[in-house]
Structure 1
Amino acid sequence: MELTYETRKGQAYTGNSLDLLDFFEDNSINLVMTSPPFDLLRQKSYGNLNGDAYINWLTEFAVKIKDKLTEDGSFVLDLGGAYKRGVPIRNIYNYKVMIKFVEEIGYYLAEDFFWYNPSKLPSPIEWVNKRKIRAKDSVNTVWWFSKSENPKADVKKVLVPYSDRMKKLLKDGKKYYEAKERPSGHNISEGFNKDNGGAIPSNLLQIPNSESNSRYLKYCKKIGVKGHPARFPAKLPEFFIKYLTDPDDVVLDIFSGSNTTGEAAENLERRWISCDLNREFVASSVFRFCTDEEQANFYYHKIIKGEYVDLRSNTLV
């Protein structure tokens, strides 16, 4: 396990995060936000297992994480969908993971979220593009697990803009609704048109994964480095970091890849820790914290050689 680079708020490690988890004190991590390799039939460059082996592998991490979370801490896990080999039938591994974590490890499922990526390409090719017998798979399951029944959370931190209709209602409520009990049983009171600064978000998160001009990708292109093939958009970890933590809380990503979680945490003034097995992925993730191409190139090659990088100052050291 190697501390690879540090920033003003965080630390990036290279190695197996199972080993890293042993170094943390119990009850010390406020949020684990991560997206592991999925249970996919086709092998990916970043590695992935299949079937029961995959679930057992992921369970090893979950067991250790539970001890390290604060009593009001959360573990948010993004898992993509998959099909069984050779047939247009869904693999339900992501649901098996959720059930195992709750029934065997003792997590609570605080809420199930679904990340809809409208920019995702049609897949799987065989069933969607060629035979045209299935719709494209564009939703990931995002399980919000908690250590206790009452994890830290404040939905006021993640309010979304009001719809145009709601804006009209706020402007002149009496014109659009009458305070009374509806047929559904909901009681619409006089305070329904109070402006709370935004609407409560749903558990369907519509976030396109269409990053094209980020600092990370810009430096990957300029320095000739291949970007991580399975990045999630910054708005996904941003949502949960805002929702479930406070400034200076600790956010951990145990499968950090290009370290989107670390960058989001840094921007939101949270302390962060990231870990990935692949040195090249960790090296290129430093681009997220560099201010120019010279710095990005210098630090990347330093990390590739196994040297430590300190980004807490703006000087090249």
Structure 2
Amino acid sequence: MSNNVFPFVINDFKPFFQTDYGFAYCCDSINFLKSIPDDSIDLIMTSPPFALLKKKKYGNEDSQNYVDWFITNFANEFKRILKPTGSLVIDIGGSWNKGYPTRSLYHFELLIKLCSDVVGFHLAQEFYWYNPAKIPSPIQWVNIERVRVKDSVNTVWWLSKTERPKADNRKVLTPYKASMKKLLKEGYNDGPRPSGHKVGKKWGKDNGGAIPPNLLNYDNLSEVLQDNLLEIPNTEATSRYLQACKSLNIKPHPARFPANLPTFFINFLTDPGDVILDPFGGSCVTGEVAEKLHRFWITSELNEEYVYSSKFRFYDYSTDQKEVTTSD
């Protein structure tokens, strides 16, 4: 470890590995959460197993039991460990009703339950992650009967413990479009619009970039957020993690989310030195992003193979030596 001092200690569990900023645990997150102190986490950034019709190797609940499973085991613990200014961000995909080309409402039911008096979270904002590279599914309805279009969007719920979570959209500004640059240069007419909105003189101020909407849209993996539809192709192919899995003959985690997804929310909702938790750690994408952005992080993951392979996001698999380089 470096001279970075983690803000608190977890005594009941031994980490599988650690880095300059974080700890990865191989354990059941249901029990692990109970060991985390109250009001200690700035951001829970996670993608829990979805309620899919087919069981996956990484484990997933069916849609009929999903909401009760999540609320009973995780919801109140998430709220307990978050700081008053903290946020819970959940990437969660939809599902289909078994045997029919109609959609399950389980992820909307989960949102309503989380924001009810039973738990008491607040919906700060909803986002949408569009993956243009997603395989057409379900095959029966999309490819065979041709009665539905490709399902390529996940909802991302941004929830908060209180009505005023920490957030700063100035940290996720996007480049101005050519039309806005022209307006800033040539000026525009202020005053009321037919919609009822009033454009003030301050609208002509150059703030260094545009405030993004909640449609998250990346033109490619190196671009910044464009709007609140997150268009992020999930096409990782040459990362150090995948290279290590291939060399060691390990199957990579089959449901990794792309690094740009946690990157946006970590920048938007936290500061360097804050603590980020992913209780469904998978291949530790959240941890890798947090490390590069100088945030402390914790992940818990039940599958030992996934935790072992995730180590090579930070370590050279050929020498087992730490190879993390964090950004400035």
TM-score by length of 1: 0.90
Which residue of 168, 171, 180 corresponds with 1:166? Answer: 180
The count of corresponding residues between Structure 1 and Structure 2 is: 297
Q: Given that residues 314 and 323 in structure 2 are in contact (C-alpha distance below 8 angstroms), is that contact kept between their aligned partners in structure 1? A: no
Offset of 1:312 from its aligned partner?
A: 9.1
Of 129-138 and 270-279, the range deviating more from structure 2:
129-138
The gaps in structure 1 that reach 5 residues or longer are 300-310
The answer on 1:10 being equivalent to 2:22 is: yes
Say which structure is richer in helix. 1
Which residue of 241, 245, 258 corresponds with 1:216? Answer: 241
Q: Given that residues 31 and 252 in structure 1 are in contact (C-alpha distance below 8 angstroms), is that contact kept between their aligned partners in structure 2? A: yes
Partner of 1:157: 171
Which residue of 306, 311, 319 corresponds with 1:281? Answer: 306
The answer on 1:244 being equivalent to 2:269 is: yes
Q: Which has the higher contact order (CA 8 A, sep 6+)?
A: 1
Structure 2: distance between partners of 1:200 and 1:80: 26
The answer on 1:66 being equivalent to 2:91 is: no
* Percentage of identical aligned residues: 52
Structure 2: distance between partners of 1:109 and 1:240: 15
Q: Given that residues 48 and 91 in structure 2 are in contact (C-alpha distance below 8 angstroms), is that contact kept between their aligned partners in structure 1? A: yes
Partner of 2:95: 82
The answer on 1:257 being equivalent to 2:257 is: no
Which residue of 139, 144, 147 corresponds with 2:153? Answer: 139
Q: Given that residues 136 and 143 in structure 2 are in contact (C-alpha distance below 8 angstroms), is that contact kept between their aligned partners in structure 1? A: yes
RMSD: 1.6
Partner of 1:110: 124
Offset of 1:172 from its aligned partner?
A: 2.1
Which residue of 55, 58, 67 corresponds with 1:43? Answer: 55
Structure 1: distance between partners of 2:311 and 2:262: 18
Offset of 1:283 from its aligned partner?
A: 0.4
Of 280-289 and 158-167, the range deviating more from structure 2:
158-167
Q: Given that residues 108 and 146 in structure 1 are in contact (C-alpha distance below 8 angstroms), is that contact kept between their aligned partners in structure 2? A: yes
The answer on 1:25 being equivalent to 2:49 is: no
Structure 2: distance between partners of 1:214 and 1:271: 22
Instruction: Give CA-to-partner distance per residue, 1:20-58, whole Å, 9 cap, x none.
Output: 111111000111000011000101010111133221111
Counterpart residue identity of residue 52, structure 1: Q
Counterpart residue identity of residue 133, structure 2: S
Partner of 1:230: 255
Partner of 1:122: 136
Counterpart residue identity of residue 86, structure 1: G
SS in 2 for 1:274: strand
Partner of 2:7: none
TM-score by length of 2: 0.87
Counterpart residue identity of residue 294, structure 1: S
